[in-house]
Structure 1
Amino acid sequence: MIYLKSAEEIELIRQAALLVSKTLGMLAKEVVPGAVPLQLDKKAEEFIRDHGGVPAFLGLYNFPNTLCISINEVVVHGIPGTKPLKEGDIVSIDCGVKLNGYMGDHAYTFMVGEVSPEVKKLLKITLESLYLGIDQCKAGNRIGDIGYAIQTHTEAHGYGVVRELVGHGLGRQLHEEPQVPNYGKRGKGKKIEDGLVIAIEPMINLGTHRVRQLKDGWSIVTADGKPSAHFEHNVAVLNGKPEILSTFNFIYEALGGNPLEYFVY
């Protein structure tokens, strides 16, 4: 069942989402060659608790950490380890927070130093697809319209759209209905209404859309070993239009601007 949120509930979700945003912004300058993912995880947990929140991922389905840190070919659900980041890596950091009884959950893929033009383009197109999907999150549209916008933009560049993992509703629970695939057909799926709050999160691979799970029981990797990008925002439908509750501005402030210079082709 889809639970539509009141204006008051949406504001509480916004506050949780903004704590995630601030956490990612705090980490932005730390994602450099030599950084240890497990240390980033500990910094994030401390920051969240210091700001009155609780890490939403820690212990959820027995996940062992505060952050999902997914490097290069790891699509999502990477477990933070002790191997340092290196020049040319890309790192998706996915973070969830519970604050005042509501959840925030979003992600950003960082570049570690200089990355190849091919990989930078993957990140740029994936980020563009996120905003194209958000543009379709308006009353009267269907969930399939969101996935269609993401899929058509990314597949036009030859990228693979992950099928097994999807976006989701958000509220008192981290994962609520509806599921929000990054692929689909226009006019299909659940109808979008005022009060809907969802996490839209394109997971786009440089090569094949196929993925597999590692023996750690969590990490999802591309089947061909090529890099994957992941960006996520929390979005509410208010007065018929999408409103982004999370923000990447704290990241951009830390980095001195948007390194991907988002725009729609």
Structure 2
Amino acid sequence: MELHRPPPFRSGGRGRSCFQKPFLVQAKRLQGLEKANTRQGKQSPEQLKKRAPLTPGTVSPPLPVPGHILRPPYVGKKDAPEIASEIQMHDKESIVHMKAACELAARVLEYAGTLVKPSVTTDEIDKSVHKMIIDAGAYPSPLGYGGFPKSVCTSVNECICHGIPDSRKLQDGDIINIDVTVYLNGYHGDTSKTFLCGEVDEGSKRLVKVTEECMLRAISACKHGTSFKKIGRRISEHAGRHGFGVVEQFVGHGVGRIFHSEPIIYHQRNNMPGQMVEGQTFTIEPALTMGSIECNMWDDGWTAVTTDGSLAAQFEHTILITKTGAEILTKC
């Protein structure tokens, strides 16, 4: 579950701007960010007309969590916590706990993917995921984070991220990102994946494939002593090569005992300082689009959609930095 970094300004449009989004990262806009003026992968007007715009459905009440399950400290508080400035480092003991949380998150995500079928509602996916998490003795981290009402994020088609599960039925040809974070024994494991629903067109499949490749290419560059800006460079190069844009407003983050902390991980080209250190854990979670990389916010305060209605895809892993590389903790 990613953080939001505000740009210096945002144009209007349907709903609120992404500047008002929760998960606010108080950071100045980077110098030298590169935006593609054209998108080779952009959907044609005919393609957009074939697919009905995403509209909100009915959101059911939050699901209960048994009292014996450990809750994160932000549960029950109205506002999301500030982004922690500490860098979350791990010793042998805490790595065991991180791996357990991440392994559970990965299993839950893979199970959620098996539920993606035409006519299934995102609310049904949320209920099934919620049950699997609490049956494992864990807490669904999104539930109650800054008022988020559900146990998982389900982002369909032009929704970039943080879609709230509701009564909307998935349609044949949809793509859907499911973002799972679990809190197990005091540690968060965070991962997401974009799934195909039914018969999906080749352009959408290519967007999903390239987005996953961007994430994996970025991870392959990570190891002790590597500059964080190499992540954004790897992602931008591969996305641009295929004609897709990289959304700049949403970033990866440190994760562990705290849900969201430093370091902030930028997915586009940037000049931010800092190097990776052995024992760190953080997420890499690029979101790519076929068209505009700008977003609008729905009135629910969470759902971020592309301004032009073009498709978006996202993938996420939690990784552990080692001397020689990066271990993917949320890999099944």
| Structure-2-length-normalised TM-score | 0.73
Does structure 2 retain, via aligned residues, the 8 Å contact 1:159–1:205? Answer: yes
1:189 CA displacement: 2.4
Letter of the aligned partner of 1:70 in structure 2?
Answer: S
Q: Could you tell me how far apart the structure 2 residues matched to 1:28 and 1:210 are?
A: 27
Deviations along 1:170-204, one digit per CA (max 9) or x if unpaired, are 11111110110111247x52111101101110111
Q: Could you tell me how far apart the structure 1 residues matched to 2:194 and 2:165 are?
A: 15
Does 2:214 align with 1:162? no
Contiguous gaps of at least 5 residues in structure 2: 1-85
Which of 210, 213, 217 pairs up with 2:301?
217
Q: Which has the higher strand share?
A: 1
1:3 CA displacement: 2.6
Letter of the aligned partner of 2:323 in structure 1?
Answer: N
Does structure 2 retain, via aligned residues, the 8 Å contact 1:158–1:207? Answer: no
Q: Could you tell me how far apart the structure 1 residues matched to 2:153 and 2:270 are?
A: 30
Q: Could you tell me how far apart the structure 1 residues matched to 2:147 and 2:274 are?
A: 30
Does structure 2 retain, via aligned residues, the 8 Å contact 1:140–1:191? Answer: yes
Does structure 2 retain, via aligned residues, the 8 Å contact 1:13–1:102? Answer: yes
**Matched-pair identity in %:** 36
Match of 1:259 in 2: none
Does structure 2 retain, via aligned residues, the 8 Å contact 1:18–1:246? Answer: yes
Which of 286, 290, 311 pairs up with 1:227?
311
Q: RMSD value over aligned CA atoms?
A: 1.1
Match of 2:156 in 1: 71
Which of 226, 236, 243 pairs up with 2:327?
243
Does 2:171 align with 1:86? yes
Q: Give the 3-state SS of the residue equivalent to 2:191 in structure 1.
A: strand
Does 2:201 align with 1:116? yes
Does structure 2 retain, via aligned residues, the 8 Å contact 1:129–1:154? Answer: yes
Does structure 1 retain, via aligned residues, the 8 Å contact 2:181–2:190? Answer: yes
1:214 CA displacement: 1.0
Match of 2:125 in 1: 40
1:10-29 alignment runs, 5 A limit: 10-29=95-114
Q: Could you tell me how far apart the structure 2 residues matched to 1:143 and 1:184 are?
A: 10
| Structure-1-length-normalised TM-score | 0.91
Match of 2:291 in 1: 207
The structure that has the greater radius of gyration is: 2
Runs of 4 or more consecutive aligned structure 1 residues displaced over 6 Å after TM superposition:
none
Q: Give the 3-state SS of the residue equivalent to 1:4 in structure 2.
A: coil
1:240 CA displacement: 3.4
Q: Which has the higher helix share?
A: 1
Does structure 1 retain, via aligned residues, the 8 Å contact 2:88–2:255? Answer: no
Count the aligned residue pairs: 247
Does structure 1 retain, via aligned residues, the 8 Å contact 2:174–2:196? Answer: yes
Contiguous gaps of at least 5 residues in structure 1: 250-265
Q: Could you tell me how far apart the structure 2 residues matched to 1:238 and 1:11 are?
A: 15
